[in-house]
């Protein structure tokens, strides 16, 4: 079969989707204090602006991949964008905290359909030519850190000079432009099979309940979440075509790599969340200044992921980078725990945030590759979906735990910079402990270094 004649234009559409899905998790950060004031979020509930998206996105990623197989990736990709646009409209128009959370959850559902469909389409377009696939993956992969960087900057500009609803309105014209370009993507029919709806519902509801239980110290919710998690595992054993065949966990390195990925998310996302709040609520930065203050960190991540990490992985192997990256992240987050109530960006934020960014950049790609390297070709999509789900689940649970810790130490006392700083310190310390735990467990449990993929160095484009 001849290559798709417009495959590079199609790649642009797919990379734009990856860019937007990742930007959706970063653009809101600097707008959080303004949203808290306007919508009446309590300090403990504010995390749901982030977690509602992450729970829906992480909990439904595997379902999105399965739907892509059954109904065709282009159709699911299109549906995902329609849902993401709808969620953006709801989030932008929200007048209450509950409606805002609903809009963010709907956005997460859209993202969970877009991401796996986009990866399937990319493999269809370039999978027959390893040289072209390397270039395409490099460009597609670069869209993720670029989206995170753009989100931080755009969120600051929008929140400072417009208002927070515009961080969601911006998705509407971009989504419509993407839908207009759908014709560039290959139309592939789905295949017949069963859909594990019960499994998808139970795992997503379980995650939401467990996060809520941590935030609210509600044992009823915790019990219900645990029961639903057990139901999910049970259905995976019984149904003919499960979302997650449990045999996949026999793949060498998969469990340890997912553990590392989950702990990476549980450390990194709380650090990013509370650093935003420290800049604005303690140092008194406006939204634009806060976004600009985070740019050095996000640019560092982009540069390392695109140009440096793959070369180091080829030289030292994934285990060394996972262990070292998590340890460096722990050191950076611990540095932020020394930030003062009357501190400055140059002393209290910049050095530690750059160290943390380097640690994140070193660990993320190797953990992702390690989780997928032992899977058979027909399992690679499932392994990719699992590790992405693990990262998002770790992010949500980590943020819930650190928010509870910060709240107990005074992070709810707006206007009292001493108590706020104490609360944020506690969250940073907790995140640092999680990252260090990840480094230790990876060192002990990852007994055989997983070989780096062939051609780990980034493709020249």
| Residue 207 and residue 225 in contact, taking contact as beta carbons nearer than 8 Å | yes
Question: Which residues, in sequence order, are CB contacts of 145 under 8 Å at separation 6+?
Answer: 22, 298, 301, 302, 305, 306
Residue 373 predicted with pLDDT over 80: no
Burial class (CB in 10 A: 0-12, 13-18, 19+), 5: exposed
User: What is the pLDDT confidence band of residue 437, given thresholds at 50, 70 and 90?
Assistant: very high
Four-point Cα dihedral 370, 362, 265, 405, nearest 10: 140
Higher per-residue confidence, 377 vs 113 = 113
Give the residue from 266, 253, 198 showing the smallest Cα distance to 431. 266
What are the distances in angstroms from CA 134 to CA 127, 139, 321, 362?
A: 9, 9, 21, 20
- Mean pLDDT (whole number) for 71-91: 92
Question: What's the pLDDT at 458?
Answer: 33
User: What is the pLDDT confidence band of residue 6, given thresholds at 50, 70 and 90?
Assistant: confident
Higher per-residue confidence, 45 vs 139 = 45
Neighbours of 449 (CB within 10 A): 16
Burial class (CB in 10 A: 0-12, 13-18, 19+), 186: middle
Question: What's the pLDDT at 134?
Answer: 64
Q: Could you give the 3-state DSSP secondary structure of residue 396? A: helix
| pLDDT tens string 16-41 | 887 887 777 677 777 888 888 889 88
56-65, 96-105, 257-266: least confidently modelled range: 56-65
Higher per-residue confidence, 39 vs 212 = 39
pTM of the model: 0.78
| pLDDT tens string 135-193 | 776 677 667 667 776 777 787 788 778 888 988 998 899 889 888 888 888 777 766 66
Residue 251 predicted with pLDDT over 80: no
User: What is the pLDDT confidence band of residue 430, given thresholds at 50, 70 and 90?
Assistant: very high
| pLDDT tens string 288-335 | 888 788 888 888 887 887 778 878 887 888 899 999 999 999 999 999
Instruction: Give the tokens for residue 364.
Output: 């993320």
Q: Measure the CA–CA gap between 261 and 369, rounded to whole angstroms.
A: 11
Question: What's the pLDDT at 381?
Answer: 63
Percent of the chain with pLDDT over 90: 24
| pLDDT tens string 377-390 | 556 667 777 877 88
Q: Measure the CA–CA gap between 157 and 416, rounded to whole angstroms.
A: 27
| Residue 32 and residue 84 in contact, taking contact as beta carbons nearer than 8 Å | no
Q: Measure the CA–CA gap between 137 and 241, rounded to whole angstroms.
A: 29
Q: Measure the CA–CA gap between 97 and 304, rounded to whole angstroms.
A: 37
């Amino acid at each position: 079969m001849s290559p798709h004649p417009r495959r590079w234009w199609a790649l642009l559409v797919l990379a734009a989707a990856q860019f937007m899905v990742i930007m959706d998790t970063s653009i809101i950060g600097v707008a959080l204090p303004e949203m808290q004031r306007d919508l009446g979020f309590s300090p403990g509930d504010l995390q749901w602006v982030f977690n509602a998206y992450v729970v829906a996105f992480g909990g439904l990623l595997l379902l999105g991949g399965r739907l892509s197989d059954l109904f065709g990736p282009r159709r699911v990709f299109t549906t995902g964008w329609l849902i993401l646009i709808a969620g953006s409209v709801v989030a932008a128009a929200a007048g209450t905290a509950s409606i805002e959370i609903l809009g963010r959850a709907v956005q997460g559902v859209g993202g969970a359909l877009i991401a796996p469909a986009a990866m399937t389409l990319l493999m269809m377009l370039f999978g027959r030519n390893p040289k072209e696939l390397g270039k395409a993956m490099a460009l597609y992969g670069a869209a993720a850190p670029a989206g995170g960087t753009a989100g931080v900057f755009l969120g600051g500009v929008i929140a400072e000079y417009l208002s927070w609803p515009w961080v969601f309105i911006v998705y509407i014209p971009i989504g419509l432009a993407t839908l207009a370009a759908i014709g560039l993507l290959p139309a592939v029919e789905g295949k017949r099979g069963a859909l594990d709806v019960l499994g998808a519902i139970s795992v997503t509801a379980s995650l939401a309940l467990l996060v809520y239980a941590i935030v609210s110290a509600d044992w009823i919710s915790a019990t219900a979440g645990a029961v639903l998690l057990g139901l999910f595992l049970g259905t995976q054993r019984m149904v003919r075509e499960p979302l997650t065949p449990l045999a996949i966990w026999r793949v060498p390195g998969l469990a340890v790599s997912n553990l590392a990925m989950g702990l990476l998310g549980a450390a990194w996302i709380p650090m990013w969340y509370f650093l935003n709040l420290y800049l604005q609520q303690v140092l008194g930065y406006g939204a634009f200044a806060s976004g600009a203050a985070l740019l050095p960190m996000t640019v560092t991540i982009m540069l390392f992921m695109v140009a440096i990490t793959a070369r180091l992985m080829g030289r030292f192997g994934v285990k060394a980078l996972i262990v070292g990256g998590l340890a460096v992240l722990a050191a950076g987050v611990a540095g932020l725990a020394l930030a003062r109530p009357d501190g400055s960006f140059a002393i209290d934020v910049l050095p530690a945030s750059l160290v943390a960014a380097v640690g994140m950049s070193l660990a993320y790609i190797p953990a992702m590759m390690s989780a997928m390297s032992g899977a058979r070709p027909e399992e690679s999509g499932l392994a990719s979906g699992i590790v992405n789900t693990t990262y998002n689940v770790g992010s949500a649970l980590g943020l819930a735990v650190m928010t509870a810790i910060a709240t107990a130490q005074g992070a709810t006392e707006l206007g009292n910079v001493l108590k706020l700083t104490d609360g944020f310190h506690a969250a940073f310390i907790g995140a640092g402990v999680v990252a260090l735990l990840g480094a230790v467990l990876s060192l002990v449990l990852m007994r055989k270094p997983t070989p780096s993929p062939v051609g780990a160095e980034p493709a020249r484009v």
